[in-house]
Homo-oligomer: A and B are copies of this chain.
Amino acid sequence: MAWDTEATKGRILDAATAEFVAHGLHGTTIERIARRASVNKERIYNYFGGKPALFAEVLRSKVAEGVGSVAFTGAAVEEVADFAERLVAFNRSRPDLIRLLAWEALAYTDEVPDESARVEMYRRRTEALAAAQDDGALTNAFAPEMLHVLLLSLAGYGALLPHVVRMVTGLSPDDEHYRAAVVEAARRLATP
């Protein structure tokens, strides 16, 4: 056991992620992060520079991971349905990332950390959708970036406001029926 800076940084980042996901920027304390990472507070200031900076770093490293890990490929309506299905499944498997996205939206009113990289990821998916539209396999009723954000809306809402889904439908957003409805809705939006 010795001098492993990177591992320590990683432990801090993981602990910070867990705490920020659960309690947001103001709700978490540096001390709890330090305890969870089995590290001294001072390390956190030394490595990351303070709570807001650490929060931004968590967003930078984790949220992009979420956006990047569900791609759209293909050109037919069924592939849009599949895309929606994978989005919902991803949101279900990583509820922490959606919560981070929500904390982020509430914390930053104008620009978010590392915005240009995020824009680039979204742009790539939009292009794939646009190509499918050009093939005539998808509707042209929506501009590709609009279709993109509408699909994100359908797939993300349940993860963002699970309690609203529960109050409206009586079901958990994890429920099979809810998932199926989202997929069917995506199919309808994409059909020419």
Contact B181 A143 (CB under 8 A): yes
Contact A142 B181 (CB under 8 A): yes
A residues near B (Cβ < 8 Å) are: 23-27, 99, 101-106, 108, 112, 115, 118-119, 122, 126, 141-143, 145-146, 148-150, 152-154, 156-158, 160-165, 167-170, 177-178, 181-182, 184-185, 188-189
Cβ-defined partner of A170 (8 Å) among B25, B142, B145, B154: B145
Best-buried of A108, A119, A145 by chain B (most CB within 10 Å): A145
Contact A145 B162 (CB under 8 A): no
Cβ-defined partner of A167 (8 Å) among B115, B150, B168: B115
Residues of chain B contacted by A177 (CB below 8 angstroms)? 143, 146
Secondary structure at the A interface, as helix, strand, loop or mixed, is helix
Closest B residue to A142 by beta carbon equals B181
- Take A122-B167, A168-B122 as given contacts and tell me if A150 and B106 are in contact as well, using a CB distance cutoff of 8 Å: no
Q: How far is the CB of A94 from chain B (nearest CB, A)?
A: 16
Contact B24 A161 (CB under 8 A): no
Residues of chain B contacted by A154 (CB below 8 angstroms)? 150, 153-154
Closest B residue to A191 by beta carbon equals B188
Residues of chain B contacted by A165 (CB below 8 angstroms)? 149
Contact B152 A157 (CB under 8 A): yes
Give 12 A-B pairs besides A143-B177, A188-B189 with Cβ atoms closer than 8 angstroms: A24-B26, A25-B27, A102-B102, A103-B106, A105-B161, A106-B106, A142-B184, A146-B181, A150-B154, A150-B185, A153-B153, A157-B157
Q: How far is the CB of A86 from chain B (nearest CB, A)?
A: 17
Contact A164 B105 (CB under 8 A): yes
Contact B115 A164 (CB under 8 A): no
Cβ-defined partner of A164 (8 Å) among B152, B178, B181: B152
